[in-house]
Structure 1
Amino acid sequence: MTTTSEEDRIRKRPGEGDADIYDEDGNVRSDFLALVGAAIADRDILFLRQNVARLHESELGDLIESIQPDQRLALVELLGDDFDMTALTEVDEVIRREIVDQMPNEQIAAAIGELDSDDAVYILEDLDQEDQEEILAQLPFTERVRLRRALDYPESSAGRRMQTEFVAVPPFWTVGQTIDYMREDEELPESFAQIFVIDPTFKLLGAVDLDRLLRSKRQTKVETIMRETTHPIPAEMDQEEAAQLFEQYDLLSAAVVDENHRLVGVLTIDDVVDVIHEEADEDIKRLGGVGDEELSDNVVSTVRSRFLWLLINLGTAMLSASVIGLFDGSIEKMIALAVLMPIVASMGGNAGTQTMTVTVRALATRDLDIYNAGRIIRREAGVGILNGLMFASIMGVIAGTWFHDYQLGIVIAAAMMINLLAAALAGILLPLLLDKLGADPAIASSVFVTTVTDCTGFFAFLGIATWWFQI
């Protein structure tokens, strides 16, 4: 059993009862992990309830990710009804599936009944259809219908992210009636920023911010203080597009409507923050060609997710090698070419990656579109030319001094100029082309941009050298 002195080592926040579980680097403290591990091994339920069950959902999620894999399910089982299932929305997908797959459906159903609908959907969507139906069958009818409707929307849509609990009132109600309704209704959301105004068919008419409602007199009708411009989000809209609307209009929450403009849910800023994090994480991984991969994935699944793009990269590398093969006679006669040609290709690859990264991100945030593409292309071409002039001059002097042959310096300077311009153009034109064709530019751009810069760099340098030196 853990001793009282050990428990006292868990620092407390001023004014709170929760343990401060993080060290100065933001990681879960090793001594706290040791105490929790010992409590799990000893089945010390009292310690876990006093020091783990009270943690915030995000802290509990970090703790679950930090403890040993074989301790995770044991922790959930020992906490029982005191375990906050919301914490599972804070862990990565692989860990969540491992835990949920081993939990009895009855326990999942009981826990989901206490969650907000958006968190419940987040957990349910990881289960197979049979388990979903078994769990939903154990829920009250109204809640079951709401969750089924959310699960029917496409993955990564606003409908999947929305919370189906909201406050909606008719336009003829007064402020006093609305306040009394909110005081008496026990099914209200845990927190909300606005009240929606609907007609008898649930079509959205407008919204009232909570602060404005509270400042208005009780006899004031809701329709006189509502905003008709509410920026509703279609349930089928992609979650990334919805997040962009939140950014554009500085929203804290937004109504989610179906194809008939009927109110079906609300999207809140906390869910949008998660979406922004997920989309940024996804874009970075795709740029690296690793797909949907988590640190908790096993070796086999990690290899599988990376294999395809490594295979494609192998093919493009062979294409670059074939360009070098065209000039094998020149390389044999002038060994300096073999020494210098990787420099030309490497500079082009790095320059192309810089332009490509900016372009892919601009496409994702819609800062780059058909209306400003021409201007941005001209700008990147100018950047490529200027960089080419500077680095061509630097490399020309270095190569000429290194090999005591300033003609060689002129050759590599010319090749550097050509390749940096090609890199700038490839870095912006290839993502634009892929986006125009309906492909995700974040997935394929890096492989093709590198191929263009390698082939251009090798061909320009070796071709100019062969012509210049007549070898």
Structure 2
Amino acid sequence: MSADPLLDETIDPAEVAVEEGANEGRPDDRVDDERHDEENRLKPEYVRAVRLALEEDRKGEVYELVEPLHPADVADLLELFDTDERTDLTIAISDLMTGEVVAELNDWVREEMMEALPADAVALIADQLETDDAVQLIEDLDATDQRAILAEMEAEGRAAIESALSYPEETAGRLMSREFVAVPEHLTVGDLIDYLRIHGTVLGDFFEVFVVDEAHHPVGTCSLSWILTTPRKIALTDVMKRDQTLIPVQMDQEEVALMFQKYALISAAVVDESGRLVGQMTVDDVVHIISEEAGEDALLLSGAGDGDINEPIREAFSSRVRWLVANLGTALVASLIIAAFGGAIEQLVALAILMPIVASIGGNAGTQTMAVTVRAIATNQLTKANTGRILWREARVAILNGVTVAVLVGIGTALVFSVPLGAVIALAMVINVVTAGLAGVLVPVLFERAGQDPAVASSVFVTMVTDSMGFFAFLGLAVASGLVS
């Protein structure tokens, strides 16, 4: 018998084979079953079957149809139903409405359901969840509902959620998990293994163990692979990794995601202002952050607000219309430029025919550069240290693009209309594309320097610059060249 307790427990290879075999083929089975299509989405026929059983009040059949689904698929199914149907479906499958299902729901759908449920029911669901998921469950509810739900919760869970809600939204303090494993630095590997075995049922899932000093400051980490492959008598201080990435509680979630990406982290300790370990961020949390931030930036660039199909119509209208109104104002600038050259357009109708080409190409060029710039700012690739270099780079790209497109449109215009008009539109095209490239960098950078999200309104102002400059350059050059008086 081995002296190492870890090796005392005999593992039957047959059992391992059975367990591994049990998991094999599950993805294919799930894809090929009657509920999922090839892309692992719920089939329309299956959704219709659930809806029909619900409409005919066959609750037992509804339960049988939904019960085999994974919690994430139950959440997807709920999101496919209208509000009234969703309430009836929730009642029919109440036993299946676990915290896992609620945690997977779309933000708008979850908030709607939480507002419809009594406080004790929401508290019951929150008690099943980890702290970060429970916070997400109730953080968007109004203060009265939050107090009612917290009053129904167990004391330990209530204290953890209240602590999380004290931090600003989208910070590490709000999002971190308060369930983690921290041990004193005087332990050996064997001591740690014994501790984990004794307390394993309450520790939850973890990827590494944090080693702390007497003041609860993190001094190192031990990954599970190190713990399992190191002799019991070795001290933790001899095997732990002392260099670690610490995340302040006030750090924005986007910066947290960048740190995980940059340093290839699986988990990281979160510390308060005094440097004490208060929580951890794990890679599964960061995946959600990355997905959320990427979608948010894309929607903000278009002025579509949250852009969620479950968002109430009033909120969707409010978030979108203000940017359309702002765009109307900036479009008036371009209209005034056209009006100033109204006489020239009357003399040469070809100007009116060709103007949209100049503005459209400039707008597309500006959008390309703006998208690259916003992404570079979001990923910390563009900073104050390299703004000048990036601006010069995009200017050179814009010159090459402008000249290429200008040659093509100039030749086409010369063949259809006249050589002088071809030269005018070619020069105007170069000017507008270069201007678009510079605006695509400068507008987001200026927003970022002013402390504003560069994705929010950059598109409106870049479009104004490219349209206005396009019209002014083309019409102004036409007048200056003598094509019109």
Q: After TM superposition, is the score higher than 0.5?
A: yes
Task: Give the Cα–Cα distance (whole angstroms) in 2 for the partners of residues 336 and 112 of structure 1.
Answer: 67
Amino acid at match of 1:318: L
SS state at 1:28 partner: coil
Partner in structure 2 of residue 208 of structure 1: 222
Map 1:436-451; keep pairs closer than 5 Å. Answer: 436-451=449-464
Task: Give the Cα–Cα distance (whole angstroms) in 1 for the partners of residues 349 and 439 of structure 2.
Answer: 30
Deviation of the 1:97 alpha carbon: 1.2
SS state at 1:113 partner: helix
- Of 278, 282, 285 in structure 2, the residue corresponding to residue 271 of structure 1 is 285
| 1:193 maps onto 2:202 in alignment | no
| 1:412 maps onto 2:432 in alignment | no
Partner in structure 2 of residue 6 of structure 1: none
Partner in structure 1 of residue 376 of structure 2: 362
Provide structure 2 residue ranges, at least 5 long, that are not aligned to the other structure: 1-24
SS state at 2:165 partner: helix
Partner in structure 1 of residue 16 of structure 2: none
Cα pair distance change 1:346/1:47, threshold 3 Å: same
Task: Give the Cα–Cα distance (whole angstroms) in 2 for the partners of residues 215 and 301 of structure 1.
Answer: 55
Task: Give the Cα–Cα distance (whole angstroms) in 2 for the partners of residues 218 and 462 of structure 1.
Answer: 82
Deviation of the 1:197 alpha carbon: 1.2
| 1:112 maps onto 2:109 in alignment | no
| 1:67 maps onto 2:111 in alignment | no
| 1:179 maps onto 2:193 in alignment | yes
Deviation of the 1:18 alpha carbon: 12
Task: Give the Cα–Cα distance (whole angstroms) in 1 for the partners of residues 277 and 57 of structure 2.
Answer: 47
- What count of residue pairs does the alignment treat as equivalent? 460
Please list the CA deviations of residues 324-375 of structure 1 after superposition, one character each: whole Å capped at 9, or x if unmatched.
Answer: 1111111111111111111111111111111111011111111111222222
SS state at 1:205 partner: strand
Partner in structure 2 of residue 432 of structure 1: 445
| 1:422 maps onto 2:428 in alignment | no
Deviation of the 1:182 alpha carbon: 1.8
SS state at 2:211 partner: strand
Partner in structure 2 of residue 223 of structure 1: 237
Map 1:323-402; keep pairs closer than 5 Å. Answer: 323-402=337-416
Task: Give the Cα–Cα distance (whole angstroms) in 2 for the partners of residues 197 and 12 of structure 1.
Answer: 38
Cα pair distance change 1:48/1:390, threshold 3 Å: same
Amino acid at match of 2:452: A
Task: Give the Cα–Cα distance (whole angstroms) in 2 for the partners of residues 200 and 127 of structure 1.
Answer: 39
Q: Is the 8 A contact 2:53 2:61 kept in 1?
A: yes
Partner in structure 1 of residue 50 of structure 2: 36
Task: Give the Cα–Cα distance (whole angstroms) in 2 for the partners of residues 366 and 418 of structure 1.
Answer: 30
Q: Is the 8 A contact 2:34 2:46 kept in 1?
A: no
Deviation of the 1:174 alpha carbon: 2.2
Deviation of the 1:47 alpha carbon: 4.2
Task: Give the Cα–Cα distance (whole angstroms) in 1 for the partners of residues 264 and 389 of structure 2.
Answer: 28
Q: Is the 8 A contact 1:392 1:414 kept in 2?
A: yes
SS state at 2:355 partner: helix
Please list the CA deviations of residues 190-242 of structure 1 after superposition, one character each: whole Å capped at 9, or x if unmatched.
Answer: 31100111223322222111110111222222222221212011111000100
Map 1:4-19; keep pairs closer than 5 Å. Answer: none
Provide structure 1 residue ranges, at least 5 long, that are not aligned to the other structure: 1-10
Q: Is the 8 A contact 2:178 2:280 kept in 1?
A: yes
TM-score (norm 2): 0.90
- Of 238, 262, 280 in structure 2, the residue corresponding to residue 248 of structure 1 is 262
Cα pair distance change 1:459/1:294, threshold 3 Å: same
Partner in structure 1 of residue 465 of structure 2: 452
Task: Give the Cα–Cα distance (whole angstroms) in 1 for the partners of residues 307 and 372 of structure 2.
Answer: 23
| 1:127 maps onto 2:141 in alignment | yes
Deviation of the 1:135 alpha carbon: 1.9
- Of 66, 87, 90 in structure 1, the residue corresponding to residue 104 of structure 2 is 90
Deviation of the 1:42 alpha carbon: 5.0
Partner in structure 2 of residue 8 of structure 1: none
Task: Give the Cα–Cα distance (whole angstroms) in 2 for the partners of residues 130 and 389 of structure 1.
Answer: 62
Task: Give the Cα–Cα distance (whole angstroms) in 1 for the partners of residues 100 and 206 of structure 2.
Answer: 18
Partner in structure 2 of residue 168 of structure 1: 182
Amino acid at match of 1:407: P
Q: Is the 8 A contact 2:247 2:269 kept in 1?
A: yes
Partner in structure 2 of residue 292 of structure 1: 306
Cα pair distance change 1:67/1:306, threshold 3 Å: same
Cα pair distance change 1:325/1:16, threshold 3 Å: closer
Deviation of the 1:80 alpha carbon: 2.6
Cα pair distance change 1:130/1:344, threshold 3 Å: same
SS state at 2:128 partner: coil
SS state at 1:412 partner: helix
| 1:310 maps onto 2:318 in alignment | no
Deviation of the 1:282 alpha carbon: 0.5
Partner in structure 2 of residue 237 of structure 1: 251
Deviation of the 1:16 alpha carbon: 8.0
